[in-house]
Each structure stands twice: as C-alpha cells, then as structure tokens.
C-alpha cells in the first residue's frame, strides 16, 4: 500500500498560465518542486470534491521530460485522492485526442474522465535545452477557462506544500492495460490505452471515409502529410494509411521524437521545409511533380497547414472555405451549422461566409478556450484562428487532422464526377473560386520573437496612447502612404463572453480602416523567453478582377504603415521580423 507524503514547498515566481498553459524551458521545469507546485495548485483550484474519486487523463506530445512528468503527476494524483489516471500508450496523446478522450472514452471499468493534464509546448521546439509545457483541460474537453487559470496562478503564489505518493512505483506506460494500487483511501488505478483508437473512431463518425478513400486512391490525386516529428505521426498512419489507403511514402516525419528531430514543430512556410519543398513552394525546385495536396501539423497536432500544388492556403481562408463547404461535403454538418467563430486577429474571411449563409458569428480573443463556451451553448459549429488552428464542436480543441480530413472531404465532393479521369478541381481552384464569390482577404502576420520584454511593453503602451487621437493617427498614416484608406476607429479589444458574461480585457490593439483593412498588435502568451510581438495585417478586396495579386505586393503599403506607425524598429531594434506567416 502506498502512503501519502506532505512535502514542504514555497512559491516559485512566474507560474502564470499563458494563452495555452504554462510553457518554460525544460531546465526551469526540472527545478525542484517546479512541476509539483503547478500540479498541486491545479488540484487545489479544482477543489477536493471534484478531485476525490475522479478519473484524469495525463499525456502529451511526447516531448523531452514528458515521461518523468507523467510519473510525478501519477504519484501526486494518487496522493490527492484521484481514483484513476488514464495514460495514452508511451504517454502520447495529441491535444485534440485528449479532448476526444475526455468527451468520448469509456474506461475498461465503465469510468469516464473529468479532466486532463496535457504535456506539451505545442509548436515550440523540444529537447533538454528547449521547451516543456503543461495545461489543464476541463470536463467538456476544453482548456481551463480564465477563472480557473487565474485561480491556479493565485495558488502558485501561496503554495506551502504538495502531496505525493513517493513510494508508489513507476508505472510501465509502454504497454496497454490496468495497474492497480492500494492506498489510504482505497484503490488507485493507472490505465494505459491505445493513443489513436478513440480519436480514429470519432473521425470515422464525422467524415465519409469511403469518399476520401476513393479520392486518395484516384490516379488523379496525390497526397502528403508531414507531422514534423510531433505526435500527429501516431494518428497519421492509422488514419491516412490504414483506414484511407494512402501510401506510406506520403507520410513525412511521422515518427514522434522527444526533440522533434531538432526542428521547430511549427507548420508554416518557414519551419515545414521538407513539405514546402515537396509541394513545389521551396526556394529550390523539388524533384518531380509535387502532390496535389499537402498538410503539416505542429508538435501536439492541433495545428494544421494546408497546401495545394505550389499553393499556400492561409489559415484564415481555410476556416472560411471549410465553413462555406461543410454542409454538403461533411456528413457531421449535413443538418446545418449552428454558427461560426474566429479569433480577433484572424481575417474576416469567415465573417463574409457567415453573412452569405446567414449564420451566427462570433469574434473572440486569441486562444481556443474562448470557443468552448460558445460550443457548449450550441452557438458555434466551426471556428478557427489565423495561427494555423481550425476546428469544430466535435471536440473543444483545435484539430489538425480534422482540418486535413475536412479539406479532403471538400476536394472529394468537388471531384466526385471526375476521379477516374476528368480534370481535377484542385486546392488552388477551390480557393480562387472562393475568392471570386466572397472576395479575398489579403493577410500576413509578422512575429518579432524574443524581443526585450520592456521594449515590447513600451511599444504596446505607445500604440494604446496613440489610438486615443484618430486625427493624429490619420495624419501620421497619410504621411506614410497615400495608398491606404483612413483609420475609422482604433481600440483595445475587449471581449464579453455571451454565455457566462465574463470579460477579457487587453486582448490586442486594433486599427480599423474605412475600407475594411486592419492592423492588429498583440503580445504573445505562449513564448518562454522575452516577449513576442505579433503584428497582423489584413486588407479586403471585393473586386474579383483584383483577387489574384501576390499577397506581399497587395499588402506592401499597409505593412509600411504598420511598421512606421508603431515605430517597430525604434522600439525593438529589429529591422526584420523573425517569422512571417
């Protein structure tokens, strides 16, 4: 029988959860009591009634330190009166799979889970010198709301002890099955289960796998998926190869690795180099004809990048196109959409679709937690973020593989007549047709990573102050470029949740132009060092004869205005962003 030890501890600075949990360098997490303090603070935020007897999931993207963290959390859960811990085999579960497991999975003894610790720093690199992360998800399968994360943070500032079953042996998480222990409060079980099967089952219930299978086996079509050595690889093979008949050779980097092969598991044109080259979008030409469709995922497989042959689909367009085509292409949505939503910095492409289709529409702050309330209240079916996040109310996280299956469904539907020989309706055709109908939102994001935190704050404070005088702003803007319209309004985005009335302030500074163009500035909440400034630039073009321009050309005047108006170089000392997406 294991016993419970009360370990003395003391607060450690800086444990405030960001946009998506607590993310720090591995060596920070490995300090004595660091992880333990955060886990105990989370338990305390959940209250004993909710914790005692509960079933909790613990798993993640498999990054370095996950295995140790899982054993620590198991021992702390046992000591805190948790009844069961569920672990994906080898500690692997993608973020969307965790959400699905909380919502759908039934344990071998009929139990259901009420929450999860997800161990991931998502698209941040992994390894001994890189990042680790942890976040807590609730009963609905979604990230803890701000009410809970604020409580967790308060607890980390006051903690003086944590509970741990030090004498509980490490559990073998490499093999599926249940290990039972006896403790002071009775039985404690650890159930290790297959990482993919619940998620695969859910995907099968949403999409028409038969039509996607036909598309993937058509001589007219070719496919490629890059998991960037993240946990997406654990799902890609069972879904794309085993269920849908894709060739194994169409999977790139699909073996999950603790350090993501030394790369940056971020699915964008900068970091998904191999896929980008294969799709004919690289600097040097790829060998042979690129595939018709390519996609990549981030470390925890909640993000996605969708590419056509020599063609990039912006994430903001992707969610709009999925929303516009979901009802006819995806069985799960055949009876209609409840509504659509996007995060504030995401382009307004989906807004236009909502208007055309007469759908409810919501604009929420950055971070997936804000979509969950809308979905729980039956107000939203499909949502997305400009940061390569797309998803629906099938779970309460963004879902990279879901997005790929949604695109494959749309392509299959548009090509149902010509799979055996006619001319394929390509990804590029689908996007260009969308622009012809709805107009195009030219869009780009500039990230300035690891900027001095003080300088970043000053830049934001400057922009807040500037926006209080529109005539002044317009004078400056006109002095920079005569090619942009007037700024009609500017504000700091604030959100009142329509379901629970909670208010989130300081969610980014917006400059809204008369012609619908927007500049948005925000500070990232997911970095682990310094500050990251994000600048989002958007311009709407309704005239279908003008939707075919190169994005960087179309946006050049606005970019110029954004950089000069914000005095970006003056404040940050940077003449170039770190990454452009």
Residues near Co ion, by CB under 5 A: 122, 298, 300, 302-303
CA distances to 16, 134, 271 from 300, rounded to whole Å, are: 21, 12, 15
Q: Which two tokens stand for residue 322?
A: 């999925």
Residue 123 binds ligand VG1, judged by CB under 6 A: yes
Residue 534 binds ligand VG1, judged by CB under 6 A: yes
Q: Are strands 531-541 and 440-451 parallel, antiparallel or unpaired?
A: antiparallel
Give the nearer residue to Co ion in terms of CB position, either 305 or 463: 305
Give the nearer residue to ligand VG1 in terms of CB position, either 114 or 122: 122
Task: Point out which span in 161-169, 182-190, 362-370, 566-574 binds ligand VG1 (CB under 6 A).
Answer: 362-370
Residue 387 binds ligand VG1, judged by CB under 6 A: yes
Residue 524 binds ligand VG1, judged by CB under 6 A: yes
Residue pointed to by tokens 């971070």: 367
CB-side neighbour CA atoms (13 Å) of 267: 37
H/E stretch holding 16 reads: none
- Cα-trace Rg, the chain: 24
How many binding residues for ligand VG1 (CB under 6 A)?
Answer: 18
Least separation in angstroms between CB 266 and ligand VG1: 9
Helix (H, G, I), strand (E, B) or coil at 301: coil
CA distances to 237, 244, 253 from 248, rounded to whole Å, are: 8, 11, 11
Identify residues 258-317 at the interface with ligand VG1 (CB under 6 A): 298, 302-303
Least separation in angstroms between CB 518 and ligand VG1: 16
Least separation in angstroms between CB 157 and Co ion: 27
Task: Point out which span in 109-117, 246-254, 435-443, 519-527 binds ligand VG1 (CB under 6 A).
Answer: 519-527
In three state form, how does the secondary structure of 237-299 look?
A: HHHHHHHCCCCHHHEECCCCCCCHHHCCCCCCCCCCHHHHHHCCCCCCCCCCCCCCEEEEECC
Q: Which of 94, 122, 318, 343 is catalytic?
A: 122
Q: b/e for 438-449, b at 16 or more Cβ within 10 A?
A: bbbbbbbbbbbb
Identify residues 9-68 at the interface with ligand VG1 (CB under 6 A): 19-20
Other C-beta atoms within 10 Å of 9: how many? 16
Least separation in angstroms between CB 522 and Co ion: 18
CB-side neighbour CA atoms (13 Å) of 62: 29
Give the nearer residue to Co ion in terms of CB position, either 292 or 386: 386
Given ligand VG1, Co ion, none, residue 347, with its beta carbon under 5 to 8 Å by kind, binds none
Give the nearer residue to ligand VG1 in terms of CB position, either 134 or 206: 134
Q: Which two tokens stand for residue 375?
A: 């979905």
Least separation in angstroms between CB 231 and ligand VG1: 12
Please say if 387 is a catalytic residue: no
Given ligand VG1, Co ion, none, residue 90, with its beta carbon under 5 to 8 Å by kind, binds none
Task: Point out which span in 99-107, 163-171, 464-472, 523-531 binds ligand VG1 (CB under 6 A).
Answer: 523-531
Residues lying near ligand VG1 in the complex (CB under 6 A) are found at 19-20, 122-123, 298, 302-303, 343, 366-368, 385, 387, 389, 524-526, 534
**Catalytic residue positions?**
122
């Amino acid at each position: 029988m294991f016993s419970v030890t009360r370990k003395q501890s003391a607060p450690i600075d800086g444990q405030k959860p960001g946009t998506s949990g607590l993310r720090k360098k591995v060596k920070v997490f490995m300090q004595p009591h660091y992880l333990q303090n955060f886990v105990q603070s989370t338990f305390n935020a959940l209250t004993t009634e909710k914790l005692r007897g509960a079933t909790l999931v613990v798993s993640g993207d498999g990054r370095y330190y996950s295995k140790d963290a899982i054993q620590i959390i198991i021992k702390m859960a046992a000591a805190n009166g948790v009844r069961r811990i569920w672990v994906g085999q080898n500690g692997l579960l993608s973020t969307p799979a965790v959400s699905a497991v909380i919502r759908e999975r039934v344990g071998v003894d009929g139990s259901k889970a009420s929450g999860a610790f997800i161990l991931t720093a998502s698209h941040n690199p992994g390894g001994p010198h890189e990042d680790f992360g942890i976040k807590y998800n609730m009963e609905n399968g979604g990230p803890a709301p701000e009410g809970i994360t604020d409580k967790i943070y308060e607890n980390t500032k006051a903690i003086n002890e944590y509970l741990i079953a030090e004498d509980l042996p490490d559990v073998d998480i490499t093999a599926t099955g249940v290990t039972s222990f006896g403790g002071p409060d009775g039985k404690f079980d650890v159930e290790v289960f297959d990482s993919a099967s619940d998620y695969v089952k859910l995907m099968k219930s949403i999409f028409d796998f038969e039509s996607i299978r036909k598309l993937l086996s058509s001589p007219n079509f070719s496919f490629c998926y890059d998991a960037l050595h993240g946990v997406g690889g654990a799902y890609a093979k069972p879904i794309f190869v085993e269920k849908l008949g894709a060739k194994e050779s169409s999977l790139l980097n699909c073996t999950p690795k603790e350090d993501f092969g030394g790369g940056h598991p971020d699915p964008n044109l900068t970091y998904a180099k191999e896929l980008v080259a294969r799709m004919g979008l690289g600097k040097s030409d790829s060998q042979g004809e690129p595939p018709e469709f390519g996609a990549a995922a981030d470390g925890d497989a909640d993000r996605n990048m969708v590419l056509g042959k020599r063609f990039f689909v912006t994430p903001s367009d992707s969610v709009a196109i999925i929303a516009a085509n979901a009802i006819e292409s995806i069985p799960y949505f055949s009876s209609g959409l409840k509504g659509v939503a996007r995060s504030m910095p995401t382009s307004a492409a989906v807004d236009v679709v909502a208007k055309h289709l007469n759908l409810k529409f919501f604009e929420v702050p950055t971070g997936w937690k804000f979509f969950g309330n809308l979905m729980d209240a039956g107000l939203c079916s499909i949502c997305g973020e400009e940061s390569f996040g797309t998803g629906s109310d099938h779970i309460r996280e963004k879902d990279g593989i879901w997005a790929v299956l949604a695109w494959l469904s749309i392509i299959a539907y548009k090509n149902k007549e010509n799979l055996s020989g006619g001319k394929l309706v390509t990804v590029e055709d689908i996007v260009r047709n969308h622009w012809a109908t709805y107009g195009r939102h030219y869009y780009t994001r500039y990230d300035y990573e690891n900027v001095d935190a003080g300088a970043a704050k000053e830049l934001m404070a400057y922009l807040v102050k500037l926006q209080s005088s529109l005539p002044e702003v317009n004078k400056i803007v006109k002095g920079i470029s005569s090619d942009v319209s007037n700024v009609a309004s500017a504000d700091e985005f604030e959100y009142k949740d329509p379901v629970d009335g909670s208010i989130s302030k300081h969610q980014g500074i917006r400059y809204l132009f008369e012609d619908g163009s927007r500049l948005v500035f925000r500070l990232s909440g997911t970095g682990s060092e310094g500050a990251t400034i994000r600048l989002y630039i958007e311009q709407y073009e309704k005239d279908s004869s003008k939707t075919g321009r190169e994005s960087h050309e179309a946006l050049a005047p606005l970019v110029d205005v954004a950089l000069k108006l914000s005095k970006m170089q003056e404040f940050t000392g940077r003449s170039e962003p770190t990454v452009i997406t």
